[in-house]
Structure 1
Amino acid sequence: MNLTNKTILITGGNSGIGYATAKVLTQKGNKVIITGRDRARLEKAGQELGVTTIPFDVTNAEDVTALVAKIKAEHSDLSVLINNAGVGKAYKLGENANAYDIAKEEFETNYFGPIRLTEALLPLLKQQSEAAIVNLASNVSIHPLVVLPTYSDSKAALHSHSIALRLTLATDTNIKVHEVFPSLISTEGTRALGLDNGLPADVAAGVIVSGIENNDNEIYVGDTAKQREAFLKDPETAISEFNKGLI
């Protein structure tokens, strides 16, 4: 896909991978729209990047309706949707872990949100000569991390959904469905979890944009390709190594 002179919507674009990807795509001559729940941070990011901003909570049905109406009215040439917004909580399963409530919040943002927004924007994306949906999965989509248990669940669900969506849309549309599988990326969110040795977000953004341009169904960032290869070769050993020192 030629990522120049396209209109692109990035959810959660006010920080991290979303912000870095918006920067790369803007530099390539695209019209980029970013969303975020924190209005002040969103406006700051928009000013820094020189992009359009729309306050938006992917878990809120009314926000979805309003966002889709605004996109149809003001950005009807939208051709790329990047479902980037995500949340995750570090904890371990067990008695009094509160796993249900944590999982509910994570699934609302990481799984149900992208499904609802994507479906609502499909009619508009179908009108374009070429279009793409990009879902931010994770290396934990392949195998779980015990300190991010229900986050891993939500990303595994998104991975499965993305495959079904890709196969379905390929039958009668020009919409490509890409999945991004980052390993550890250095963002405000990962640093808050005490994970400070990740790949820089701008490096990840470059890989993501190149993957979309190359029409790669699955875009592996950082160590994920090696982790996937190890899992396919020997799942039990790969999962054990992935969680070494954490159990």
Structure 2
Amino acid sequence: MNITNKTILVTGGGSGIGYATAKYLSEKGNKVIISGRNAEKIEKAGKELGLDYIACDVTDAVAVNSLVNRMESKYADLSVLINNAGVANLYKLGEGAGAFEKSKQEFETNYFGPVRLTEALLPLLKKQPEAAIVNITSNVSFHPLVVLPTYSDTKAALHSHTVALRLTLSKETNIKLFEVMPSLINTDATKEMGGEQHGLPPLVVAEDIFKGIEEDRFEIYVGETGRQWADYFANPVAAVENFNHGLF
């Protein structure tokens, strides 16, 4: 799929992967709009990048509806949606862990958010000559990390949803559905888990998204994810234990 001269919406565009992806795709000749729940942060990012920006919390139905109305009225040529907004809680399951509240917060943003926004924007995307949805999941979508247990749950759910929606849309529309599975990336959100020391720069994800879409690779593995995927399907038990070595 051609990924130039497109109008693209990137959620969670105020920092990290979203910021880097918005910047990279803009430099490739696309009109990029970024959104984020923190109004000051997304305004700052928009001004730094010279991009249009919209404050929107993807867990808020009213805010999402407003965002969709704005896209329909001002960006009717929207052809690419990148669902990147996400939150994660670093902890371990067990007595007193607060897993219910943590998972509820994570699912609202990481799963229900993109599910709702995607469905709401499908009518607009269907109008374009070619269109794409890009869901950012993770290497934990196929094997959980015990210190990101319910975050892993959300990404596994989004992976499953992505596969089902891809098959459905392939029969009914010209919308292509891509899934991006990064390994550890150096962002503000990964500092507590060694992102600064061991993570890849967010630009790597942006570059792989661009290449993956161009090459119609519907599952885009970033960093160590491709090797981890192969290891998991060769021996799931050993792969999960190796992935969590020293953490349990």
Fold equivalence (TM over 0.5): yes
* Gap runs ≥5 in structure 1: none
CA distance in 2, matches of 1:7, 1:245: 44
2:171 paired residue number: 171
Deviations along 1:163-219, one digit per CA (max 9) or x if unpaired, are: 000000000200000000000000011014443210011122111111111111100
1:195 paired residue number: 195
> What is the number of residues matched between the two proteins?
247
1:142 aligns with 2:142: yes
CA distance in 1, matches of 2:194, 2:100: 23
1:16 paired residue number: 16
1:59 paired residue number: 59
CA distance in 2, matches of 1:194, 1:233: 27
1:128 paired residue number: 128
2:86 paired residue number: 86
Deviations along 1:35-56, one digit per CA (max 9) or x if unpaired, are: 0111111111111111100000
1:236 paired residue number: 237
Return 194-203 or 41-50, whichever deviates more: 194-203
Corresponding residue SS for 1:156: helix
Q: Which runs of 4+ in 1 moved over 2 A?
A: 192-196
CA contact (8 A) 2:25 2:210 kept: yes
Aligned residues with identical type, % of pairs: 62
CA distance in 2, matches of 1:192, 1:45: 23
1:71 aligns with 2:71: yes
CA distance in 2, matches of 1:209, 1:86: 20
CA distance in 1, matches of 2:193, 2:4: 36
CA distance in 2, matches of 1:192, 1:94: 20
Code of the residue aligned with 1:39 in structure 2: it is: A
CA distance in 2, matches of 1:172, 1:111: 23
Return 80-89 or 184-193, whichever deviates more: 184-193
Code of the residue aligned with 1:3 in structure 2: it is: I
Superposed CA RMSD: 0.7
CA distance in 1, matches of 2:89, 2:71: 31
CA contact (8 A) 2:22 2:34 kept: yes
CA distance in 2, matches of 1:2, 1:188: 31
* Gap runs ≥5 in structure 2: none
